[in-house]
Structure 1
Amino acid sequence: MGDWISSLPDEILFLIISKLAFESAIQTIFLSKRWRLLWETALVQHGTEEDAAQAICDFLANFNEQDPSKNTRKFQFHFINGSVVLAIIAPNNKLHLDFSSGKQEIHRQFKLQLEFNNPQNFACSCSQPSPSLSAFSVKSLHLISVNHLTNDAVSSMLKNFMFLETLRITGCNFLQSLSIGSDTKLLNLIIFDCLQLEFLHIRSFKLRMFRFRGLLPSFWLEYHYNLADAFLDFRQGPKSNSFSSCDFDSVLLAIKNVKVLTLCKWTFQALICPSLSTFLAEFQFYNLEELWWIDNSEQEYDSDPLISFLKLCPSLERLFVTIDPKSYCVERSATCSIQAGRNTKLQRLKLVKLDGFTKEADETLLAEHLGEVVTSEPLILASADGICLRKLIHDPLYQPKQQSHERKCSYKSVEVKDMNMLCPKHVHMGL
Structure 2
Amino acid sequence: METERVDLISGLPFEVLRRIVSFLPLKEAVRTSVLSTLWSGLWKPVQVNMEADSNENLAREMARFLRSREGPQQWKFHLKIREKDGLKMEDDLMFAATMGAEEELHLDFFGGIRTRDNFDLTLESSCLSPSKYSCLKTLHLRSANRFFQRLVSNLFSNFQFLESLRLENCCGLENVDIKANGYLQRFAMVDCPETASITLSALNLKSFRYRGALPLIQLKNSPDLVDVILDLREGPGQIEFDCEDVLPLLESLRDIETLTISSWLLEWLCTGGVIFGRLQFQFNRLKELRWVGPQIDQPKRDSLACFLDILPVLERLLLTIDQSCRQFQRPFFIQYWHEPHLWTENSTAESNASQLNHLEVVRLVGFTDTEDELLLMDHLLKRAFTAKSMILTSPGNRSWWVAKIPCSQMKQTSRCHSKHIGISFPDKRYFFGLREQRE
TM-score range, shorter chain: 0.7 to 0.9
1:32 aligns to 2:36 (yes or no): yes
**Counterpart secondary structure, 1:150:** helix
| Match runs of 1:4-19 below 5 Å | 4-19=8-23
In 1, the alpha carbon distance for the partners of 2:51 and 2:433 equals 68
Q: Note the C-alpha offset of 1:337.
A: 4.2
Contact kept? 1:289, 1:316, Cα under 8 Å: yes
Letter in 2 for 1:356: G
Change beyond 3 A, Cα 1:272–1:154: farther
Number of the residue aligned with 1:248: 246
The answer as to 2:398 corresponding to 1:388 is: yes
Q: Tell me the equivalent position of 2:150.
A: 152
Which residue is 2:68 aligned to?
A: 62
Contact 1:93 1:140 survives alignment (8 Å): yes
Match of 2:436 among 399, 415, 423: 415
TM-score with structure 1 length normalisation? 0.82
- Which residue number corresponds to residue 344 of structure 1? 354
- Residue of structure 2 aligned with 1:377, choices 383, 387, 396: 387
Does structure 1 retain, via aligned residues, the 8 Å contact 2:163–2:186? yes
1:88 Cα deviation after fit: 1.7
Secondary structure (helix, strand or coil) at the match of 2:379 reads helix
**CA distance in 1: counterparts of 2:273 and 2:281, whole angstroms:** 10
Instruction: Give the secondary structure class of the aligned counterpart of 2:76.
Output: strand
Mapped partners of 1:191, 1:265: distance in 2:
20
Amino acid at match of 2:307: F
Instruction: Provide the TM-score with structure 2 as the length reference.
Output: 0.81
SS state at 1:292 partner: strand
Q: In structure 2, what is the Cα distance between the partners aligned to 1:265 and 1:31?
A: 44
Match of 1:365 in 2: 375
When the two chains are superposed, the root-mean-square deviation of aligned CA atoms in Å is 3.1
- Closer, same or farther: CA 379–330 of 1 in aligned 2, 3 Å: farther
Deviation at 1:318, TM superposition (A): 0.8
Structure showing greater radius of gyration is 2
Equivalent residues in 2 for 1:224-303, closer than 5 Å: 224-271=222-269, 277=275, 282-297=280-295, 302-303=300-301
Give the CA deviation at 1:13: 1.8
8 Å contact from structure 2 (residues 230, 262) kept in 1: yes
SS across alignment from 2:387: coil
**Are residues 401 and 27 of structure 1, via their aligned partners in 2, closer, same or farther at CA, if it must alter by over 3 Å?**
closer
2:413 corresponds to: none
Structure 1 stretch 76-85 or stretch 286-295: which is displaced more?
76-85
Q: Deviations over 1:126-168 (max 9, x none)?
A: xxx86564xx511221111111121111011111011112111
Aligned-residue identity in percent = 28
Write out per-residue CA displacement over residues 329-371 of structure 1, whole angstroms, 9 at most, x where no aligned residue: 45498734489x9563111211111112322554433211112
Closer, same or farther: CA 15–111 of 1 in aligned 2, 3 Å: same
Partner residue, 1:107: 116
Q: How far has the Cα of 1:35 moved from its partner?
A: 1.4
8 Å contact kept, 1:221–1:250: no
Q: Which runs of 5+ in 1 are unaligned?
A: 65-70, 123-128, 420-431
Please say if residues 175 and 197 of structure 1, whose CA atoms lie closer than 8 Å, have aligned partners that are also in contact: yes
* Distance in 1 (alpha carbons) for counterparts of 2:322 and 2:261: 13
- Structure 1 distance, partners of 2:403, 2:370, is 13
Instruction: Confirm or deny: 8 A CA contact 2:424 2:431 kept in the other structure.
Output: no
* Compared CA separation, residues 407 and 195, structure 1 to 2 (3 A): farther
Matched-pair contact (CA < 8 Å) for 2:363–2:391: yes
For residues 256-279 of structure 1, the C-alpha deviation after alignment (integer angstroms, 9 at most, x for no partner) is: 111000112221232378685599
What is the alpha-carbon distance in structure 1 between the residues aligned to residue 428 and residue 281 of structure 2?
32
Counterpart of 1:126?
none
Aligned to 2:418: none
